[in-house]
Amino acid sequence: MAEIQFVHVSKVYGGDVTAVRDLNLQIAEGEFVVLVGPSGCGKTTALRMLAGLEEITAGEIRIADRVVNDLPPRERDIAMVFQNYALYPHKSVYENLAFGLRMRKVPRDEQRRRVEEIARVLGLGDMLNRRPAQLSGGQRQRVAMGRAIVREPKAFLMDEPLSNLDAKLRVQMRAEIARIQQALKVTTVYVTHDQVEAMTMGDRVAVMRDGELQQVDTPQRLYDAPANLFVASFVGSPPMNLFEASVRRDNGRLLCKVGDSEFELPADLEAGRPALGAYVGRSLAIGIRPEDVREASGWDGARLRGRILLVESLGSEQLVHIEFAAAPLERSDLVDTAAQPPGPSLGVGELEQAVTLLGRFDRHLLLTPGEAVEVAIDPRLLHFFDLETGLAIPSAVDTPVPAGVAG
Amino acid sequence: MAVAESDFSLASRRRPRWSRHRVASAASPYGLLAPALVVLGVVLGYPLYLIARLSFEKYGLFELIRHKGRWIGLDNYTAIIHDSQFWHVLLRTVGFTAVNVSLTMVLGTAIALLLVRVSTVVRYMLTAALVFVWATPVVVAVDVWRWLVDPQFGLANWLLTKLHVGNFVHHDWFVNPWSGFGVITAVVVWGAIPFVAITVFAGLSQVPAELIEAAQIDGARAWNVFREVTLPLLKPIFVILVSLSIIWDFQVFNQIWIMLDQRPSADYYLMSVYSFVESFRISEYGLGSAIAVVMVLIMFGFTFVYVRQMVKAGEVR
Amino acid sequence: MSSATPIAPTPVAAVVRQGPSARRRLGLLGWNAAGIAVFVVMVFPVYWMVSTAFKTGPNIFSYSPKWLPVPATLANFGDAIHRQYFWQNVRNSLIVVGVVVVLSLTLAFLAALALAKFKFYGRRAFIVLIIAVQMVPLNALIIPLYITLSRAHQVNKLSGVIITYMTFVLPFTIWTLRGFILGVPRELEEAAMVDGTTRFGAFVRVLLPLVAPGLVATSIFAFIQAWNEYIMAYVLLSSPEKQTLTVWLASFTTNRGTAWGPLMAGATLTALPVVGFFLLVQRRIAFGLTAGAVRG
């Protein structure tokens, strides 16, 4: 087990393609950190640099306080689980598991002992003589994990190990991996593009985009206090509703205007978010999570009026797409699904600018597309972002945690 | 304007149905296969039958004129079995094949491994060179090498003398069959390397990079990676290449024939040359056929291995 | 800019390591040197042939080798071209090769269709036959071939040679075309049939254009094989005006010795078409014989 550090690490291909830009990340001993982001964000490159499979263009990587930049993979004492498992097809399961031990000249009976124990733990006991081609996807995945575990390395590196499994198996294996990691307490760096996986498995999650680290934090804090628009739209499913708004002051009250509606921001909100004061008279971006969008009956606070476009029944709740007047955000740093202008409008009345609001409504409500609806907004649940930089306008309490310090 | 039903039925009656039927049966698989099979049957099937029959006949000049052989049963076979020359030639051919195939495989694989490690420019250069060599007709290649080992003006003699390996001035490489075969082996291997090198290189690029990386992470050094991961994955390719090489090298004819000005001495006989000489020089076609039959049977053994590997690889569906 | 603040406690010297380590660069240099050495060794005979073709007599027949053909001359080429029967032999080679290519492509395409698109009794056996037949030692069959052809009065005729060449060209062509046909999705033919063609019509209108690369590759393979073949032509064509170029090359060696300069020129000329075509298509030809063998 060891501490892992990325210090100003960069990776540049061919002189002009930057895959990873100035990555600084500290991973504590025994911690499970997930690198997550869309394809091309640099997470796999970062992992491969850690493994020694890619050259580091600039910066240092340290494992257990030892700079490993020039060390070949086999001397870093790390183990890796690949997306396609990379099991040796011509070797039996036993030989696959024992390979790493054999390479390190572990005595034969010690090999046998460790392999058989791992096999037992992972439920592979009676498959030791089979070839990978004869195993199911889930079994192969377990052999790949076993191969990593049996070596008792300083760290586990996992490159999207679950993406080749079907949905149900994925949920099962997610839990198993998490369980194993907790039992063994080995430092683990896990790469995935699936934010659900990231949130459920990691002690801390590092969100990356275009080679840059956006935010590293515990899953809950990522959800509650995203540091910028990208993280806000990436984390959480269904994604956060984001749109443009403006703030003005009227008689000491802070008013927020969204499309045609305007509502007051309570005083304690401004007190808790002093930076907001700089945005008076300007436009900014506002976000609200779908579960914070409620049907307005019985609410005497801010309301937004809109028209129901579509109701998706999930059984446990209803996902309602509501069209209402607001300026959509058109930015490249948003994940595609969030805040898109709606398709052809079902409603009467041409809206010049419209946004689709996603709300998670109680399953008992009777809702029909085309119907007008009022939605309750609790301003205290709003997220605020700078329109130019995309950075969150922080509250006094919720400062995003810097990358260097462990969660 | 509505179209009457009757118009349609008229039209369909007008289209002659028999043509569709004819085309369909002509397009049946046997029909498609027939022309090719006929040609192969005539040019391959019948000669195969013929050579088997000829090997049991006496077929000299007299018989050639009369277009008819005289059945002598196993006499040809007994003749060659008791002929010590036959066994010498067979042994020589086996030895020659073994040496050539080994050299070709080892050098070809080494070059393939080299191709993986060099920079792109050098790789293109080397691949282009291999392709050039491969495309060169055998007759041309033999002539070039003949020139290179020419006693008076050949480059080989000059080079070896210059390097103080010995006195090679005016050295005739073909006086001694061992050195003669050395030259012939050089030609054969030189011409055969490109196919092996390029095929193995293609195979190497099909080895998933992830497996290599996994082995590296598991602690394997370069040699271990090659032995434990790469080689087993390349086994099917090697089986095919070795079978093909054996089949081709066993039948080497052109190189010997042209290298020795169409007049090889008995020391230079390989099986194909021996069979040819017995037939066309001495006009003992029956005897030549018997030798050829032995060759074919030996080849069938290796063909079986090759075919079985292809079936295993799923090519035969 | 990242929202993460720069990292914490441990003092970090700004270590900037640029590019691959020196050790790795040295290794690459070594491999490249080896690669270039192999290149030189492999290519040298070809270079020697071409340069000898351009050398003047004294430069060819000199005891210390002249590495560069300076001064260069075309006399050897002239000599070679003006030899008796050269142009006839070129014509013969072209005729043989042309007919072999066209004929084998046609027959092979039909046969490949049968093997790829239909399920019929004995199909697997045919496929095995096609593979195995490529292995029959043609040199061994010279005798019966000669006898058969002589009975049919095909000896010393180009047609005899053409038919003979079909033996080794057909199987490979059938095999390769079958591979290409299998690679075309069935939906395309089915769409054509729905649109109104017959099954055979679909073959010709849809499949044929799509396997064009295969046709090109196999025709070049047939070209090369037919152009380079020696022993059959040597046996079957006895009169010099009927011979092909490969046999013609043998005429440079008389009992007075070998005319090396013109021989090298002639060899260069003989190799030229083949090398040219080969460079166009190298990879596609090669691996029909070993296709798909690596199944990880």
Residue B298: the pLDDT is 82
Task: Tell me which residue has tokens 């446990």.
Answer: A316
Helix-helix angle C22-54:B84-117, to 10 degrees: 130
Confidence class of residue C23 from pLDDT cuts 50, 70 and 90? low
Tell me if C278 and B134 make a contact (CB, 8 A cut-off): yes
pLDDT average, residue stretch A195-212:
93
Residues in chain B with CB shorter than 8 Å from the CB of A100 are 217-219
Are C67 and B154 in contact by the 8 Å Cβ rule? The answer is no
Q: Is the pLDDT of residue A399 over 50?
A: yes
Q: Clarify whether residues C48 and C104 are in a common domain.
A: no
Q: Is the pLDDT of residue B316 over 70?
A: no
What is the domain extent for residue B265? Answer: 78-316
Q: Is the pLDDT of residue C291 over 60?
A: no
Higher pLDDT pick, B113 / C198? B113
Candidates A68, A71, A78, A80: best to mutate against B (most CBs of B within 10 A) is A80
Q: Is residue C219 part of a domain?
A: yes
Residues in chain A with CB shorter than 8 Å from the CB of C17 are 56-60, 69
Confidence class of residue A335 from pLDDT cuts 50, 70 and 90? low
- B288: which 2 tokens? 């030549």
Residue C10: the pLDDT is 37
Q: Is the pLDDT of residue B211 over 70?
A: yes
Residue C22: the pLDDT is 67
The average confidence (pLDDT) of chain C is: 77
* Percent of chain B with pLDDT strictly greater than 90: 15
Residue B13: the pLDDT is 46
pLDDT average, residue stretch A219-230:
92
> Among candidates B312, B216, B223, which has minimal Cα distance to A86?
B216
Residue A346: the pLDDT is 43
* Percent of chain A with pLDDT strictly greater than 90: 42
The average confidence (pLDDT) of chain A is: 86
Q: Clarify whether residues C53 and C89 are in a common domain.
A: no
Q: Is the pLDDT of residue B95 over 90?
A: yes
pLDDT average, residue stretch C36-46:
91
Nearest Cα of chain A lies from the Cα of C5 at a distance, in angstroms, of 5
pLDDT average, residue stretch C19-24:
61
Over residues C9-19, the pLDDT tens digits come to: 333 333 333 44
pLDDT average, residue stretch A342-365:
68
Low-confidence winner among A129-133, B51-55, B249-253, C215-219 (lowest mean pLDDT)? C215-219
- C61: which 2 tokens? 């027949």
Instruction: Kindly list the distances between the CA atom of residue A36 and the CA atoms of A62, A191, A217, A363, B285, in Å, as whole numbers in the listed order.
Output: 21, 6, 12, 32, 78
Residue B14: the pLDDT is 46
Give the dihedral sign, CA B262/B268/B272/B273. positive
Number of domains in chain C: 2
Over residues A276-328, the pLDDT tens digits come to: 888 888 888 989 999 888 888 777 778 888 899 999 999 999 999 998 888 77
Residue A160: the pLDDT is 93
Instruction: Estimate to the nearest angstrom the gap between the alpha carbon of C121 and the chain centroid.
Output: 34
Residue C251: the pLDDT is 73
- C170: which 2 tokens? 């057909």
Q: Is the pLDDT of residue B198 over 70?
A: yes
Residue B21: the pLDDT is 47
Q: Is residue C29 part of a domain?
A: yes
Residues in chain A with CB shorter than 8 Å from the CB of C7 are 5, 7, 24-26, 403-404
Residue C296: the pLDDT is 27
Q: Clarify whether residues C39 and C99 are in a common domain.
A: no
Tell me if C293 and B236 make a contact (CB, 8 A cut-off): yes
Which chain A residue's Cα is nearest to B222? A74
Residue A227: the pLDDT is 92
Q: Is residue B17 part of a domain?
A: no
Nearest Cα of chain C lies from the Cα of A242 at a distance, in angstroms, of 19
Residue B27: the pLDDT is 54
What is the domain extent for residue C25? Answer: 12-73
How many Å apart are CA B131 and CA B143, to the nearest integer? 19
Which strand (E) or helix (H) includes residue C112? helix C86-117
pLDDT average, residue stretch C161-190:
83
Nearest Cα of chain A lies from the Cα of B203 at a distance, in angstroms, of 16
Over residues C99-141, the pLDDT tens digits come to: 999 999 999 988 888 888 887 777 888 888 877 777 777 777 7
Residue A362: the pLDDT is 87
Residue A1: the pLDDT is 56
Are B260 and C122 in contact by the 8 Å Cβ rule? The answer is no
- Respond yes or no on whether ipTM tops 0.90: no
Q: Clarify whether residues C54 and C127 are in a common domain.
A: no
* Percent of chain A with pLDDT strictly greater than 70: 91
Nearest Cα of chain A lies from the Cα of B195 at a distance, in angstroms, of 26
Residue C21: the pLDDT is 62
- Say which of A56, A59, A212 has its CB closest to residue C2: A212
List chains adjacent to chain A, taking adjacency as at least 3 C-beta pairs closer than 8 Å: B, C
Tell me if A404 and C8 make a contact (CB, 8 A cut-off): yes
Q: Is the pLDDT of residue A203 over 60?
A: yes
Q: Is the pLDDT of residue A212 over 90?
A: yes
Q: Is residue B56 part of a domain?
A: no
Confidence class of residue A352 from pLDDT cuts 50, 70 and 90? low
Q: Is residue B182 part of a domain?
A: yes
Residue B42: the pLDDT is 79
Instruction: Estimate to the nearest angstrom the gap between the alpha carbon of B18 and the chain centroid.
Output: 48
Tell me if A404 and C6 make a contact (CB, 8 A cut-off): yes
Residue C256: the pLDDT is 66
Q: Clarify whether residues C160 and C231 are in a common domain.
A: yes
Residue C243: the pLDDT is 86
Q: Is the pLDDT of residue A348 over 50?
A: no
How many Å apart are CA B60 and CA B68, to the nearest integer? 10
Residue C6: cis peptide before it, omega within 30 degrees of 0 = no
Q: Is residue B34 part of a domain?
A: no
List chains adjacent to chain C, taking adjacency as at least 3 C-beta pairs closer than 8 Å: A, B
Q: Clarify whether residues C147 and C200 are in a common domain.
A: yes
Which chain C residue's Cα is nearest to A71? C21
Interface residue C3 vs chain A (CB under 8 A):
yes
Low-confidence winner among A7-16, A306-315, A396-405 (lowest mean pLDDT)? A396-405
Residue B7: the pLDDT is 40
Give the dihedral sign, CA A234/A239/A245/A250. negative
Over residues C132-143, the pLDDT tens digits come to: 777 777 777 777
Tell me if A89 and B233 make a contact (CB, 8 A cut-off): yes
- A296: which 2 tokens? 């307005």
Confidence class of residue B5 from pLDDT cuts 50, 70 and 90? very low
Q: Clarify whether residues C250 and C282 are in a common domain.
A: yes
Are C278 and B135 in contact by the 8 Å Cβ rule? The answer is yes
Which of C50, C73, C96 finishes a domain? C73
Q: Clarify whether residues C124 and C261 are in a common domain.
A: yes
A·B CB contacts under 8 A: 59
Interface residue B11 vs chain C (CB under 8 A):
no
- Say which of C6, C18, C296 has its CB closest to residue A24: C6
Measured at the CA of B273, the angle between CA B270 and CA B277, to 5 degrees, comes to 135
Q: Clarify whether residues C232 and C103 are in a common domain.
A: yes
Which chain C residue's Cα is nearest to B23? C200
User: String of b and e for C107-134 (b: at least 16 CB within 10 Å)?
Assistant: bbbbbbbbbbbeeeeebeebbebbbbbb
Q: Clarify whether residues C161 and C92 are in a common domain.
A: yes
> Among candidates C8, C13, C9, which has minimal Cα distance to A402?
C8
Q: Is the pLDDT of residue B3 over 80?
A: no
Give chain C's radius of gyration (CA, Å): 28
Q: Clarify whether residues C118 and C260 are in a common domain.
A: yes
Nearest Cα of chain B lies from the Cα of A89 at a distance, in angstroms, of 8
pLDDT average, residue stretch C83-103:
88
Candidates B146, B147, B183, B248: best to mutate against C (most CBs of C within 10 A) is B147
* Percent of chain C with pLDDT strictly greater than 70: 84
Q: Is residue B28 part of a domain?
A: no
- B301: which 2 tokens? 């053994």
Low-confidence winner among A27-36, B113-122, C198-207 (lowest mean pLDDT)? C198-207
Over residues A140-171, the pLDDT tens digits come to: 999 999 999 998 899 999 999 998 888 898 99
Q: Is residue C197 part of a domain?
A: yes
Candidates A33, A55, A75, A235: best to mutate against C (most CBs of C within 10 A) is A55
- C48: which 2 tokens? 């020697």
The SS3 assignment for A390 reads coil
Instruction: Kindly list the distances between the CA atom of residue B156 and the CA atoms of C50, C66, C274, in Å, as whole numbers in the listed order.
Output: 17, 13, 27
Which of C33, C53, C73 finishes a domain? C73
Which chain A residue's Cα is nearest to B213? A53
Q: Clarify whether residues C64 and C118 are in a common domain.
A: no
For C130, left (φ over 0), alpha (ψ -120 to 50), or beta?
A: alpha
CATH of the domain at B104: 1.10.3720.10
At residue A319, what are phi and psi to the nearest 5 degrees? Answer: -100, 115
- Say which of A78, A84, A90 has its CB closest to residue B210: A84
Q: Is the pLDDT of residue B225 over 60?
A: yes
Confidence class of residue B108 from pLDDT cuts 50, 70 and 90? very high
pLDDT average, residue stretch B264-271:
87
Number of domains in chain B: 1
Give the dihedral sign, CA A250/A254/A258/A260. negative
Which strand (E) or helix (H) includes residue A191? strand A187-192
User: String of b and e for B149-173 (b: at least 16 CB within 10 Å)?
Assistant: bbeebbbbbbebeeeeeeebeebeb
At residue C160, what are phi and psi to the nearest 5 degrees? Answer: -60, -45
Nearest Cα of chain B lies from the Cα of A103 at a distance, in angstroms, of 5
- A29: which 2 tokens? 């001993």
Residue A78 pairs in a beta bridge with A155
The average confidence (pLDDT) of chain B is: 81
Are C239 and C156 in contact by the 8 Å Cβ rule? The answer is yes
Higher pLDDT pick, B278 / B27? B278
Q: Is residue B305 part of a domain?
A: yes
Q: Which of A20-34, A283-297, C189-203, C231-245 ranks highest by mean pLDDT?
A: A20-34
pLDDT average, residue stretch B86-106:
93
Nearest Cα of chain C lies from the Cα of A398 at a distance, in angstroms, of 13
